[in-house]
Amino acid sequence: MSGLLTEPAPELRPDRPAEKPARPYFSSGPCAKPPGWALERLPHGSLGRSHRSKLGKSRLQHAIDLTREVLQVPDTHRIGIVPASDTGAVEMAMWSMLGARPVTLLAWESFGEGWVTDAVKQLKLDPTVMKAPYGALPDLSAVDFSNDVIFTWNGTTSGVRVPDGDWIPADREGLTFADATSAAFAMPLPFDKLDVTTFSFQKVLGGEAAHGVLILGPRAVERLESHTPAWPLPKIFRMTKSGKLNEGIFQGETINTPSMLVIEDYIFALEWAKELGGLEALIERSLANAEALDRVVEALPWLDHLVADPAIRSTTSVCLKFADDAVAGVDEEGRLALVKKLAARLEAEDAAYDIAGHRDAPAGLRVWCGATVDAADIEALGPWLDWGWHSIQP
């Protein structure tokens, strides 16, 4: 650490807060379980049964049907449960569909950078790459939609989201691939503008990890049935048989064996969301949480948003930084040390779990504000953040 933090005057050090968040689960994935969740509340009839059995397939199909209903996916789009979380879903789409036309990749955080790496080093494409630093977006108006376009709707590690789908033309020639893993169920997704959409259970609905969801529009299906990639496809990426879409994948016939416990957990979250009021209610909860965190940041002079522009600031994976005045003269290594100390101090107090920023992001905090978090817990977090910050000062 270069430089020294100015020691706060004793009278400015806050007292240890009396009340803690009731559920201090602020991880950005896997995220907080839905309120009222308990393991014993999950149906277990499908456990120990084959996923190919009538019961197993019916539960998988039920999860797909509920996904369509709650997420408001149009009937024109197919929904499949696939291996390997959101990463698996994105990889399936890239390896199966790219190569038919030029491709543009947008990257402003680590996962977008990962898709660039796959396109360049693994698929050996020569893509157009449009990058922006953490906290910003590239120029969306400059995107060439005669190309296939791959982007993250909400950058989980940067806290930057696209503001809407208005920048995507209806008459585009290429396909759009939206990694929407920390946006689905918390932000409106214009499926008429999205040919491929992916997400995982573990984000906004607080499900368990290991499986992803792949949503294909009609243009994506047409690409799958008309284009043969120049590279070999692993079994878990194959979505066609004899040149036609394997419809079974989108009717509960998963490519490989799923965890039925994970599926039951996902169904529980979807049914909770439906009872809550569906997509609109989920979005409302996420917005309320983000607004509560905004008030916390506004009240703490040592804390600030990484994303300056509210129009592109995430309402789920909200990334924070230390205010410049609070860490003047402290280098990045020193700031990372402060993050580690603060996160550890609050975890030891059971006041906040997993709030350190992503390892690839600038030093800072990250507080999940998705729909399974309660705004009251965000509000209760504020005094603990302030107490923790002052408690780690010299």
Residue 234, domain CATH = 3.40.640.10
Burial of 27-65, coded b for 16+ CB within 10 Å and e otherwise, reads bbbbbbbbeebeeeeeeeebeeeebeeeebbebbebbbe
Q: Which pLDDT band, with edges at 50, 70 and 90, does 1 fall under? A: very low
Sole residue written with tokens 């995107």: 143
The two three-digit tokens of residue 31, written as one number? 């995220």
The two three-digit tokens of residue 140, written as one number? 């969306």
Say yes or no: 223 and 111 in one domain: yes
Which residues neighbour 379 within 8 Å (Cβ) at sequence distance 6 or greater? 292, 295, 296
pLDDT in tens, 276-319: 999 999 999 999 999 999 999 999 999 999 999 999 999 999 99
Q: Tell me how many domains the chain contains.
A: 2
pLDDT in tens, 197-230: 999 999 999 999 999 999 999 999 999 999 999 9
Residue 343 is part of a domain; what is its CATH number? Answer: 3.90.1150.10
Separation between Cα atoms, residue 317 and residue 321, nearest integer Å: 13
Sole residue written with tokens 């190569």: 99
pLDDT in tens, 72-86: 999 999 999 999 999
Which sign, positive or negative, has the C-alpha torsion 153, 70, 267, 55?
negative
What's the DSSP call for residue 8?
Answer: P
Say yes or no: 228 and 283 in one domain: no
Task: Confirm whether 302 is domain-assigned.
Answer: yes
The two three-digit tokens of residue 23, written as one number? 């559920």
Task: Confirm whether 9 is domain-assigned.
Answer: no
Say yes or no: 174 and 272 in one domain: yes
Say yes or no: 239 and 383 in one domain: no
pLDDT in tens, 309-363: 999 999 999 999 999 999 999 999 999 999 999 999 999 999 999 999 999 999 9
Burial of 142-172, coded b for 16+ CB within 10 Å and e otherwise, reads ebebebbbbbbbbbbbbbbbbeebeebeeeb
Query: Facing residues of 151 across strands?
Result: 178
- Which percentage of the chain shows pLDDT scores above 90? 96
Which residues neighbour 176 within 8 Å (Cβ) at sequence distance 6 or greater? 145, 148, 149, 151, 168, 193, 194, 195, 196
Task: Confirm whether 304 is domain-assigned.
Answer: yes
Confidence at residue 316, expressed as pLDDT on a 0 to 100 scale: 98
Task: Confirm whether 37 is domain-assigned.
Answer: no
Say yes or no: 148 and 295 in one domain: no
- Compute φ and ψ for 60, nearest 5 degrees: -65, -40
pLDDT in tens, 222-247: 999 999 999 999 999 999 999 999 99
Q: Which pLDDT band, with edges at 50, 70 and 90, does 7 fall under? A: low
Separation between Cα atoms, residue 80 and residue 93, nearest integer Å: 12
Say yes or no: 231 and 309 in one domain: no
The two three-digit tokens of residue 332, written as one number? 């990045």
Helix (H, G, I), strand (E, B) or coil at 341: helix
Separation between Cα atoms, residue 235 and residue 247, nearest integer Å: 16
Task: Confirm whether 353 is domain-assigned.
Answer: yes
Confidence at residue 133, expressed as pLDDT on a 0 to 100 scale: 98
* Helices 279-299, 260-276: inter-axial angle, 10-degree rounding: 80
Say yes or no: 257 and 315 in one domain: no
Domain of 290 in residue numbering reads as 16-32+278-391
Q: Which of 247, 276, 305 is the endpoint of a domain?
A: 276
Task: Confirm whether 2 is domain-assigned.
Answer: no
Say yes or no: 115 and 82 in one domain: yes
**Helix ranges restricted to H, the chain:** 54-71, 85-97, 110-117, 218-226, 260-276, 279-299, 332-348, 375-391
Say yes or no: 87 and 231 in one domain: yes
Say yes or no: 272 and 282 in one domain: no
Say yes or no: 238 and 284 in one domain: no
Write the DSSP assignment of 238-258 as a string of letters. Answer: --EETTEE-GGGGGT--SS--
Q: Which of 241, 276, 311 is the endpoint of a domain?
A: 276
Say yes or no: 105 and 93 in one domain: yes
Q: Which of 276, 294, 312 is the endpoint of a domain?
A: 276
Give the H/E segment covering residue 358.
Answer: none
